[in-house]
Every structure is written in structure tokens, then in C-alpha cells.
Structure 1
Amino acid sequence: MISEIIIIFILILINGFLSASEIAIVSSNRSLLSSKPNKAKKSYNLLLDLKDHPNQFLSTVQIGITLIGILIGIFSSGELTQSLSSVLAKSAFLAPFSWHMSVIIVVLCITYLNLILGELLPKRIGLSIPERYALMVAKPIQVLSKIFKPFVWILDKSTSGVLSLIGIKSSKRDITEEEIKALMDEGVSSGVIEDYEYDMMDRLLYLGDKRAINLMKHRSDVDALDVEMDLEEIENYVLENDHTEFPVYQDTFDNIIGVVKTKTLLSKIVKREPLNLKKLCLWAPFVNENASIYQALDEIKESKVQLGVVVDEYGTPQGIVTLKDIVSNLMGPVTGEEKDNQSPRIIPREDGSLIVDGRYQLVDFFMELKMPLTEEQEFQFRNTTTLGGLVFALFGRVPKKGEVIEFGILKFEIFHMDLNRIDKVIVSRPAASSTEE
């Protein structure tokens, strides 16, 4: 009887080892594993192999747990049950039920021990220290995988056959952006990620889906120099428009020949030297309007200027995207620079509504309101870059001052028109207001 108890106890511990190994290997983090010291590299490589072939090691663990369950059943139904039955049979009252009671008692005790020592406790340990535990068990699990390889192959083929019969195809699921954001939320909650780090990563992910057209300044708002301007005209224009660089065009904006730096112009102006804009121009990168923000960034980084000319499919310039715009959307607006009166602004009102410049970038606007567009809305307004453009698209015509249109939970009211351009918009949330009342 003692020998059976010892064997069953050992089998339960082995079951616990397999359960903890399974949960630790599955939940171990690759990035944390890669930071382990060089002496653990061999175990790290074995563990990576197990993680890359989950079906093999999971089947191995399952075979081991199933065999242990069978062996526990065999040893518990033999001498152990009989010995307990003999003890219970000594009581005249329990004698008629001694066998059945002994079976129930043995099953309950072994089930309890197996749940605690063979499942729950080991899995808690595996979840608490997944990387450390997974590295420790990688070698023995790899050995078991080789021993059970023929059986694993049979099980794998059988499982795949059943899945194909019911029309389910096995596929490797890629991690989604939502899962990354969920991990970021956990990082903020646990204090691992600071709020400003979360904000930057969130902007990074958000901008990854945007194109150059979503961030560009439209050609109608771009301050550019005509190559035929004389010294006095250039001086007045540069002093009126505070920029570090200016696009230079010949005849019309459709024919941009390059970019000139303001410091170069000022040095010539101060010395009253003759100005030849064509010779002072630097090569300007041309970015397709459908290029991603990060493709546009790469193009600008490879040039000697800090802006790119955004062109449509026919090569016609539609506007510019600047390095400052991209960095501001990643880092948030630079306070000192946003005080410029010419910058698009959001002005809060006492009633909770906002007066927003029609030139305000959609990316900035919805991030400011913490209201990201749905995939359907992003596709519908994929060619719209500013709030004014969005409102114009919603109306489908040139609106008049005072006209109102709704967009989801937001209400847009035309506050001021500049000829046919939407200059200012009042943005409010009628749904939120009515709820509070």
C-alpha cells in the first residue's frame, strides 16, 4: 500500500512538472528571453525551437499527462483501494458499502492532490516565472518530444485530418494593433510605461496608417517664392512669412524647381547681394500623396531640406509635408511654436464647444478629442486632410455661415467662411450635453 501511495505521489509531481512546463513555455516572452546571459543561450535556442513548433511540444505534454492519468488510475484501483476497503469492512455498519466507499475516497483524495499539486500550483508557478522556468525545462521537454515523436506525428496527422474534414484550416495568427495597445495599457497600469511614453507610442501606431495626403499643408496655404521675384520682393515676403524654408516655383506652383533656406536668403539680403533663386535652390523630394507618413519621412531625411512636395498620381504638386509636421504629430505640438497667430488653433468656449480653424489637420483634431476614426470613416475620407475638408465633404457643397451638420456624436456649425473656403467651425457634442442634463 505504501509503495502505491509513493508511486501515485511521484506521478502527480511529474504531472505538475508537465503542466507548469506547458504554461511557462506558452506564456514566456521572446524579448525577455533574448536578454538572458550568454550561458543560457543553448537553453534559449531549445526553447525557441519549442515555441516555433507548438503542436509538437503540446502534443508531447498531452501524451505525458494522459499516460500519467492512466497509470494513476491503475495504481489507485489496485492494492490501495483494496487495503482501504479492508479497513472499512472492519466496521459492521460500513462493511456492506466498504468497496464503493473506498473507491470514492481514493478517487476524491487523488483528484484533490492532482488538482493542487499536479495542476493549479504548478501552473501558478509557471505563470509567475515563465521565462526562468521555461529555460530550465526546455532540455527535458525537448528530450521527451524526441521520444514521443512517432506518436506526436500520428496525433498531428489525425488532428489535421479531422480539422480538414470539418473545414477548418490551421493558420498562424499575426499579432494585431489592438493587442499591442492592450499590452501598452497593461504597461501603463503597472507603471512600466510612463504616460508620455504611451502617448508617443499611440501616436506612432496611429500615424502608421496615415498617408502623406493626411498630413500635408494644401497648396492654397503654402507660402512659396516665384523664381522671378527681385531682392525687395523676396525680402518683404520672407519677413511677412516666418518659415525656415520656402518652396520655389517657376511660373506656377505646378512647376516647383526646389527649396531655398531662409538663412541663405537673409545672408544675401543683409549684404544686399544680387539674388538668383534658381542657383540657391536645393533639390526637393517629391512624395506621392498615397505614400505612408514614414515613407515620406525617409524621403525627407535623405534630402538636404526639411520638407517634401506632395504630388498626385499625375505628378501635380498638391501641397507640402514638413519634418516639423511629422515630428509634431509624433511628439505633440511644440508650445513655443504653436503661439504663432498663423497656426491653426482650437479655441474652447464657455459652453464646452470649440472654435476650430478649418485648416486644422484631421489627424491632430481627432487625436486632440481622443476620438479615432473608424476604419469605414478613414476609408471614406481617405483623401481629406483638414477639418474644413471633412466638413465640406459632409455637406457635399459650399456651405453657408450658420449651417449645421452632424458627424457621429459631433455637431459641426459653420462659424466663418473665407469666400468658398471653410475658415472656422464650431464643434460641439450634443449627445454628451443632453446626457449630462
Structure 2
Amino acid sequence: MDTVPLWAQFAALAFLILASAFFAMAETALMAANRFRLRHQAKRGSKQAIATLWLLQRTELLLSLVLIANTLINAMAIALVTAIAITQFGFEEHVILISTGLVVFILIVLAEISPKIIGARYADKIVLPASLVLRPLLSAAKPLIWFVHLFVNTLLRLVRVKPAGTEQEARLSPDELRSVLIENGSFIPQKHKSILMNLFDLDTISVEDIMTPRAHIEALNLAVPVEDIKAQLTTCYHNKLPVYDGEINQIAGILHVRKAVALLNEEDELTVDHFRALLSEPYFMPQDTAAFAALQNFQENKERLAIIVDEYGEVQGLVTLDDIIEEMIGEFTTSTPSATRADSFGWDAKGECLLEGSTPLRDINKRLGLNFPLDGPKTLNGMLLELLQDIPEAPISVKFGQCIIEVVQVHDQAIKVVKLRRPSA
């Protein structure tokens, strides 16, 4: 050490500290890096991202490299400071202790804590250039790492720890993926985020939640006079109509209105058999089918409309492909009366809202920000009848949670009109 200039010794010490800081910062950045962003960049041809993913696929080797390098560097730094202290001051114990303590403090501050904080905060900026250095170092240090792992693996076997490669790569569950979407939603346009969140919800709702109820189905009855059928066809709102014989549970098929309109222009006298000949096979679906499964069924069977039935085969409602798509991306602009009603309700200036009793609870929760239960009756009328255990006489008011519900009109054993009052904040 006497032949080495003092400035060179301190330069070597500074280099060791910087090298230790680099390994600590690179290790933290690699562990904190956004793997989804890295995969995206790798698919676009980024060499740095490809190198980073290559390192992340060899986490145990990478950690071994960093620990071996940091241990050697820190030991060399302490040995170098001790040698400098002995060269300059002799074998003075208090000088050696002070110099050793000082370099340990410097290593903790400058080569451990500070670089790791920087690596965690700026992981995505640091990880790409750092990977270009770590990858060749890892390849060069393989013999040393292999030698060290001979002893490590022996120790792990003794304590019955599974060797590397026996566990599958961790994958995100749907709930974890939803959490990632919520936490990082600021990087995604609000409309896109809403669609993705609604897509997750398709597995949690059934077709019963989104179907058009039986009482609101626009259907064609072949048991009525032909003139009535023709009148209904000229004023209907839909392109396809369920057709039944006398009673809604006796579904005969699905009628394409366009074909029927073409039939109306013919001069021959029309009969019910003419319309029956145009019917296509109805597609039935159980009421507890998940909305996402229904979407897959529509795709696989090349259908766009399904009749919803219960466990006894009784018709409960009707669901279309458009209904499911609306659950994902929101409602379409349409001229049907039901859609007009759905779009029209909301809180007025007095904090009140007038609704039909047949309004679905899911629509009320979405539009009014309420939290009515969805695991029981599906409509406001059904919820109130279950709550009151009787058909009430208007006017009557009840309090459900923080919302006051006033029954305004009752007709034909059903609650027709209801007024809601906004809960106080």
C-alpha cells in the first residue's frame, strides 16, 4: 500500500461504494418494475425490456449475483479503509475502529438505503439501462454462482425447501386484476376503464338481472285475428318478435319483422299459416345463466335473442345481445319507449324522483346512486311487496335504509307509481 498514492486508494474506495450502490439500486428497481409495461415494451421490440424480462425470469440467479457482488465489494471497502488507516496512523486500535465504523456508516447510507429508495421510486427509468449491465455480468459470473449454489441447494434440501423451477409463475386472479385496474386507473381513459370494469361484472350478474321482464315483452299472438296481427306488425318497435299460440309460455318461434312486412305487401289473403311459415326456432336460456356465459352462448350458437325460462320451463323474460353489450359499454340511443323511460329519471331540484313500480333495481342503483339489494326481487314493485308483505293502499310511505319511498299509485295488485326521496348526506 505504501507504493500506491493515497488519492488512488480513495478513488478505489469511491469506486467500490458506487459499485455497491449500483447493485443495490438495480436490484430494487428490478423487483419494483412494472412487469406488464415491460412485456408491452418487449413485444414492441425494446432490447432493454427484453434483457430485463430475461433477468426477471432468473430471479434466484440475479439475487445471488447481487448478494455475492455486494458482499465482496463491502468487504473490500472495509479492508481498504483498514489498510489506509494502518498505513497512515499505524496500528492504532481507536483509529481502526473509527475508520471501520465510518466506512460502514457510509456504506449503509450511500450504498444501501439511498440507492434502494431511488430504485423503488424510479424503477421504470432505472431498470432498463441497468439490465444491459447486469445481463452480461450474470452470464460471466455463472461459474461462481454455480459453485455457491452447490452449498445453497444442499442446505435447502436439508430444510426441505423446494428447488427453483418447481413452482409455477404467479398469475393474477380476476379480483387481483380488478385491483390493478382500479389502482392504476388514472392511466386509462375513464370510458375504457368503465368498460373493463363492467366486463368483470358480467360473471357476477345473471341474465335475469338484465332481461326484459315477461310483462314487458313485445310478442305476437297467433291466436288473435289476422287483422290484429297486421296492425301490431306495422307499429312494433323491434326487428324480431317472439311468437306464441294463445299463451306466452307456448312459444312457437321468432318472427323477423322485415320478412313479415314483405308478406303484408302481397295481395293474397293472409292467414296465420303464412306467418307461421316465417318463424325460426326459438332459443331458450335458463334464468340463472351468467351474463358472460350468455354472451359466449350467443356467439357459439349464432343467436342474438333468447327466451329466458325458469326451472319449470315458464317464460320469465327475454334477453338480447344488445342487452349484454349495454351492460359493458352503456346504453345505446334508441327510440323504444322503455329506453326513453330509462333515460329520463333522476333526482329533481327537490331531491325527489318519480318512478314506475316496474323499474329494475339495478337501473335505480346505477342512476340514482342508491344501494337497494339485488339478491332478491328485481324490480321496485317486487322489493316493496316483499318488504310490506302485503299489497299496500296508496298513499303510504316506508323508509328503506336512508331512502324514503312513497307509494303513489297501486293498480291491478301491483305498485304502479313510486316516489323516492334522496337520502340526506
Task: State the TM-score, normalized to the length of structure 2.
Answer: 0.78
- Give deviations 1:219-257, integer Å, cap 9, x for gaps: 122122223344312122234542221111234222323
Q: Who is 1:80 aligned against?
A: 84
What is the aligned residue count?
408
Q: Who is 1:29 aligned against?
A: 35
Provide the C-alpha distance between the structure 1 equivalents of 2:52 and 2:185, rounded to a whole number of angstroms: 25
Q: CA RMSD in A?
A: 4.0
Provide the C-alpha distance between the structure 2 equivalents of 1:342 and 1:40, rounded to a whole number of angstroms: 51
Share of identical aligned residues, percent? 21
- Give deviations 1:170-217, integer Å, cap 9, x for gaps: 9957345365355456443xxx42232233233323334211111111
Query: Is residue 415 of structure 1 aligned with residue 408 of structure 2?
Result: yes
Q: Who is 1:280 aligned against?
A: 278
Which secondary structure state, in structure 1, belongs to the residue aligned with residue 248 of structure 2? strand
Change (3 A) 1:240 1:121: closer
Q: Which amino acid aligns with 1:259?
A: I
Query: Is residue 390 of structure 1 aligned with residue 396 of structure 2?
Result: no
Query: Is residue 264 of structure 1 aligned with residue 237 of structure 2?
Result: no
Change (3 A) 1:389 1:67: farther
Structure 1 portions without partners, runs of 5+: 90-95, 163-168, 433-437
Query: Is residue 243 of structure 1 aligned with residue 241 of structure 2?
Result: no
Matches within 5 A, 1:326-337: 326-337=324-335
Change (3 A) 1:311 1:150: farther
Q: Who is 1:348 aligned against?
A: 347
Q: Would you say the 8 A contact 1:288–1:313 is kept in 2?
A: yes
Change (3 A) 1:397 1:69: farther
238-247 vs 58-67, which moves further:
58-67
Q: Who is 1:20 aligned against?
A: 25
Q: Would you say the 8 A contact 1:417–1:424 is kept in 2?
A: yes
Q: Would you say the 8 A contact 2:48–2:132 is kept in 1?
A: no
Change (3 A) 1:308 1:343: farther
397-406 vs 312-321, which moves further:
397-406
* Cα offset, 1:388, TM superposition: 3.1
Q: Would you say the 8 A contact 2:285–2:307 is kept in 1?
A: yes
Q: Who is 2:307 aligned against?
A: 309
Q: Which amino acid aligns with 1:295?
A: A
Q: Would you say the 8 A contact 1:283–1:304 is kept in 2?
A: no
Which secondary structure state, in structure 1, belongs to the residue aligned with residue 25 of structure 2? helix
Which secondary structure state, in structure 1, belongs to the residue aligned with residue 249 of structure 2? strand
Structure 2 portions without partners, runs of 5+: 1-5
Which secondary structure state, in structure 1, belongs to the residue aligned with residue 424 of structure 2? helix
Q: Which amino acid aligns with 1:284?
A: P
Change (3 A) 1:108 1:353: same
- Give deviations 1:378-422, integer Å, cap 9, x for gaps: 5xx1x5433333343444443443444444443333233332223
Change (3 A) 1:32 1:258: farther
Q: 116, 139, 147: which is aligned to 1:119? A: 116
Which secondary structure state, in structure 2, belongs to the residue aligned with residue 254 of structure 1? coil
Q: Who is 1:295 aligned against?
A: 293
Provide the C-alpha distance between the structure 2 equivalents of 1:159 and 1:372, rounded to a whole number of angstroms: 53
Q: Who is 1:435 aligned against?
A: none
Change (3 A) 1:393 1:126: same
* Cα offset, 1:262, TM superposition: 1.7
Which secondary structure state, in structure 2, belongs to the residue aligned with residue 242 of structure 1? coil
Query: Is residue 401 of structure 1 aligned with residue 401 of structure 2?
Result: no
Change (3 A) 1:209 1:131: farther
* Cα offset, 1:132, TM superposition: 5.7
Which secondary structure state, in structure 1, belongs to the residue aligned with residue 358 of structure 2? coil
Which secondary structure state, in structure 2, belongs to the residue aligned with residue 417 of structure 1? strand
Provide the C-alpha distance between the structure 1 equivalents of 2:132 and 2:311, rounded to a whole number of angstroms: 54
Q: Would you say the 8 A contact 2:41–2:49 is kept in 1?
A: no
Change (3 A) 1:415 1:239: farther
Q: Who is 1:361 aligned against?
A: 360
- Give deviations 1:297-339, integer Å, cap 9, x for gaps: 2333455653211122343321111222223222222344366
Provide the C-alpha distance between the structure 2 equivalents of 1:371 and 1:54, rounded to a whole number of angstroms: 48
Which secondary structure state, in structure 2, belongs to the residue aligned with residue 19 of structure 1? helix
Q: Who is 1:425 aligned against?
A: 418
Which secondary structure state, in structure 2, belongs to the residue aligned with residue 350 of structure 1? coil
Change (3 A) 1:112 1:206: same
* Cα offset, 1:160, TM superposition: 6.9
Change (3 A) 1:288 1:130: farther
Which secondary structure state, in structure 1, belongs to the residue aligned with residue 110 of structure 2? helix
Change (3 A) 1:368 1:74: farther
Which secondary structure state, in structure 2, belongs to the residue aligned with residue 413 of structure 1? strand
Change (3 A) 1:230 1:186: same
Change (3 A) 1:160 1:347: same
Q: Would you say the 8 A contact 2:55–2:131 is kept in 1?
A: no
Q: Which amino acid aligns with 1:216?
A: M
Provide the C-alpha distance between the structure 1 equivalents of 2:197 and 2:43, rounded to a whole number of angstroms: 32
